[in-house]
């Protein structure tokens, strides 16, 4: 990932369109004092970015001096190198526009139009579409030409393969700033493929890596007229395993069944397979499917997207389906009036709208989930365990070598499943079994397994993590599963309302757990930092109230 290191330079614009580079800290730093000095000279808001972040990781917008130290610490902790840089923030009224560039390393560079990724949360893209919503195509042309000029200047390093040149663009008054270059294939490459009439970007990337020039890649039929947009629109909806109602917390567990839309102009990219269950954990990205909609006009895309989301169903975990339905149903989205701050500013109303839309299709989803004949369902039942499965069991006592006792031979036993009553392993399982020991006849039992936390696999090193009571104001409870990175309080500490007491990592993001009230800490989590902790685990307990409320 390449980022600019210059301050305030113009990219060379025309038609009264201003393009440039935001003032930025010249040298990455690990010192908060350096970031504070930069903010003092640049003025707030500023944005802090980890030098080796990506995907929203290690990015914090600082609007006030009082927030700088805490936000800088979080950004630095999400950087593997422990370093970050800062720049003036262009966050209000700007769209996130990126240009797809392809170069062959022989001085030949061309564009494949632009995409827009303004609908974001925590600087992570939720919805992307192409072409962009910028109605002033002269402004779009200036952005594309700036990307081409930078790519052409890269002849000195033989710029090769695909590249995404990213910008922040404001339509009125027209202005844009260069953000960064990602010299690789992007998650949202699918809509560019649709825009370019089905061209295969992965194939192009591989051919260029083998030394093929652009002239041999059958791109001559694609227009380079950046003023006139392609006669087609494409939209990508990212379906993720996240609970948007709980601040986009990762939803862990097992996907029991799913259904994705089909039809003309609809493409779904997913790793889910109908033949086997999928476990969602905390170590990997939450993306479970990309739903790509393509149609001749934006209005057609919006209508088709509504129908595609109505046909989408995932059972077993919480997903971002509600927020996606709310987005495509919103007036601002239909009118293409969404800037980079729109989703987070409008989240409560958009989410509520999406929930209402989802509620209207509850009966249809329930009917679908009860059907076992559809090949689109990936059911967990009868996959992990089946009637007739059997195991030989040996229990060997653990005896200390210093005890002098003779080795005790294990008593073999046998367990056989006679009927699987419920199969949602590892969350839960119920079955009828026959249990046999050397001294007994087969004895029927009902076997019940139940997970004690919402985590998907390894649990905290604390043998039985204490569960919190969400209704108890003195309990500070984990609202999501993840890895405990830092515990910031000890017994006897006084905490204020809103103070960070722990940090939990989900995928690439470090999320702060804050006290809902002030008080004295009388108990803290008894495991260790680095533990995998489940949703609902108690982090700390307060006693009484505090004058610091």
My answer on whether 515 and 536 are in the same domain is yes
Residues (pLDDT < 70) of the chain are 1-15, 54-55, 154-157, 362-386, 398-411, 423-428, 451-464, 507-508, 544-549
Residue 461 pLDDT? 40
CATH code where residue 315 lies: 3.30.470.20
* Structure confidence at residue 269 (pLDDT): 96
Domain end (from 200, 215, 231): 231
Q: Give the domain-ending residue among 188, 210, 231.
A: 231
Q: What is the DSSP letter of 406?
A: P
- 289 and 371, same domain (yes or no): yes
pTM: predicted TM-score of the whole model, two decimal places: 0.71
Among 54, 88, 122, where does a domain finish? Answer: 88
Q: Does residue 468 lie in a domain region?
A: no
What does the pLDDT look like over 269-308, one tens digit per residue? 999 988 777 888 777 788 999 999 999 999 999 999 999 9
Q: Would 1 be classed as within a structural domain?
A: no
Through-space distance between the first and last CA atoms of the chain, rounded to whole angstroms: 44
- DSSP labels for 9-27? -B----TT-EEE---B-SS
406 lies in some domain:
no
416: containing domain = 381-393+411-451
At 309 the pLDDT is 97
Which are the contacts of 59, defined by CB distance < 8 A and separation ≥ 6?
A: 47, 48, 49, 50, 53, 75, 122, 123
The residues annotated with a catalytic role in the active site are 125
Domain assignment of residue 464, yes or no: no
Q: Indicate if 61 and 133 belong to the same structural domain.
A: no
d(CA 239, CA 422): 28
What's the per-residue H, E or C state across 121-166?
ECCEEEEEEECCCCCCHHHHHHHHHHHHHHHHHHHHHCCEEEEEEE
pLDDT score of 379: 37
| Residue 549 covered by a domain | no
Q: Are residues 274 and 368 in the same domain?
A: yes
Residues 236 and 371 in one domain: yes
Is residue 160 located within the same domain as residue 246? no
Can you give the CATH number for the domain in which 49 is found? 3.30.1490.20
- Helix (H) / strand (E) containing 93: none
- Looking at the fold, whether 148 and 186 belong to one and the same domain comes out as yes
In the prediction, which pLDDT does 144 show?
95
Q: Is 273 exposed, middle or buried (0-12, 13-18, 19+ CB in 10 A)?
A: exposed
Query: What was the pLDDT predicted at 11?
Result: 47
* Assigned domain for 16 exists: no
Q: Give me the residues paired with residue 483 across strands.
A: 505, 532
Q: For the segment 409-453, what is each residue's pLDDT rounded down to a tens digit?
A: 666 788 888 877 776 666 667 788 888 888 888 888 888 877 654
Residue 538 and residue 496 share a domain? yes
| Rg for the chain, CA atoms, rounded | 27
The verdict on residue 5 lying in a domain is: no
CATH of the domain at 511: 2.40.50.100
Are 40 and 50 members of one domain? yes
Q: At what angle do helices 68-77 and 32-42 cross, to 10 degrees?
A: 130
Are 124 and 176 found together in one domain?
yes
Our count of domains for the chain comes to 5
How many beta carbons lie within 10 A of that of residue 542, not counting itself? 25
In eight-state DSSP terms, residue 545 is -
Name the average pLDDT for the chain: 83
> Are 106 and 224 contained in the same domain?
yes
Q: Say yes or no: 149 and 220 in one domain.
A: yes
The reply to whether 456 falls in a domain is: no
């Amino acid at each position: 990932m390449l980022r600019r290191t210059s301050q305030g330079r113009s990219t060379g614009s025309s038609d009264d369109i201003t393009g440039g580079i935001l003032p930025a800290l010249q040298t990455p730093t690990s010192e908060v004092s350096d970031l504070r000095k930069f903010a003092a000279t640049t003025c707030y808001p500023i944005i802090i970015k980890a030098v080796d972040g990506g995907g929203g990781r290690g990015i914090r917008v600082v609007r006030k001096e009082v927030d700088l130290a805490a936000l800088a610490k979080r950004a630095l902790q999400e950087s593997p190198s422990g370093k970050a840089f800062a720049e003036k923030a262009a966050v209000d009224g700007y769209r996130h526009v990126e240009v797809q560039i392809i170069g062959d390393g022989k001085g030949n560079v061309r564009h494949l139009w632009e995409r827009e990724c303004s609908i974001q949360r925590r600087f992570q893209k939720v919805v992307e579409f192409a072409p962009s919503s910028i109605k002033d195509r002269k402004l779009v042309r200036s952005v594309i030409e700036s990307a081409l000029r930078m790519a052409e200047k890269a002849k000195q390093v033989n710029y090769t393969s695909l590249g995404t040149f990213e910008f922040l663009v404001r339509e009125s008054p027209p202005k844009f700033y260069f953000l960064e270059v990602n010299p690789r294939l992007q998650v949202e490459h699918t809509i560019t493929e649709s825009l370019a009439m089905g061209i295969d970007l992965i194939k192009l990337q591989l051919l260029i890596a083998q030394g093929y020039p652009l002239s041999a890649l059958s791109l001559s039929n694609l227009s380079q007229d950046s003023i006139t947009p392609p006669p087609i629109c494409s939209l990508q909806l990212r379906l993720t395993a996240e609970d948007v109602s709980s601040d986009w917390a990762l939803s862990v567990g097992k996907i029991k069944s799913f259904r994705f839309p089909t039809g003309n102009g609809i493409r779904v990219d997913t790793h889910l397979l109908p033949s086997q269950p999928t476990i969602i954990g905390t170590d990997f990205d939450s993306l479970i499917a990309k739903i790509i909609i393509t149609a001749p006009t934006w209005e057609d895309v919006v209508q088709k997207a509504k129908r595609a989301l109505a046909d989408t169903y995932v059972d077993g975990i919480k997903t971002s389906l509600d927020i996606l339905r709310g987005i495509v149903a919103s007036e601002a989205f239909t009118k293409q009036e969404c800037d980079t701050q729109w989703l987070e500013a409008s989240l409560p109303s958009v989410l509520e709208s999406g929930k209402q839309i989802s509620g209207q299709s509850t009966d249809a989803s329930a009917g679908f989930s009860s059907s076992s004949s559809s090949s689109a369902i990936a059911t967990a039942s009868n996959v992990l365990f089946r009637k007739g499965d059997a195991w030989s069991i040996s229990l060997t006592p653990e005896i200390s070598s210093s005890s002098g006792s003779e080795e005790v031979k294990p008593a073999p036993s046998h367990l056989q499943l006679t009927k699987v009553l419920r199969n949602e392993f590892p969350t839960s399982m119920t079955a009828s079994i026959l249990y046999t020991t050397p001294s007994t006849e087969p004895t029927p039992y009902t076997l019940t397994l139940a997970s004690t936390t919402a985590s998907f696999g390894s649990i905290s090193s604390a043998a039985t993590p204490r569960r919190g009571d969400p209704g108890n104001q003195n309990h500070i409870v984990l609202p999501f599963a993840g890895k405990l990175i830092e515990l910031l309080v000890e017994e006897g500490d006084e905490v204020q309302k809103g103070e960070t007491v722990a940090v939990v990592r989900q995928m690439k993001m470090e999320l702060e757990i804050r006290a809902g009230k002030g008080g004295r800490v009388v108990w803290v989590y008894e495991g260790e930092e680095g533990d995998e902790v489940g949703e609902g685990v108690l982090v700390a307990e307060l006693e009484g109230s505090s004058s610091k409320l």
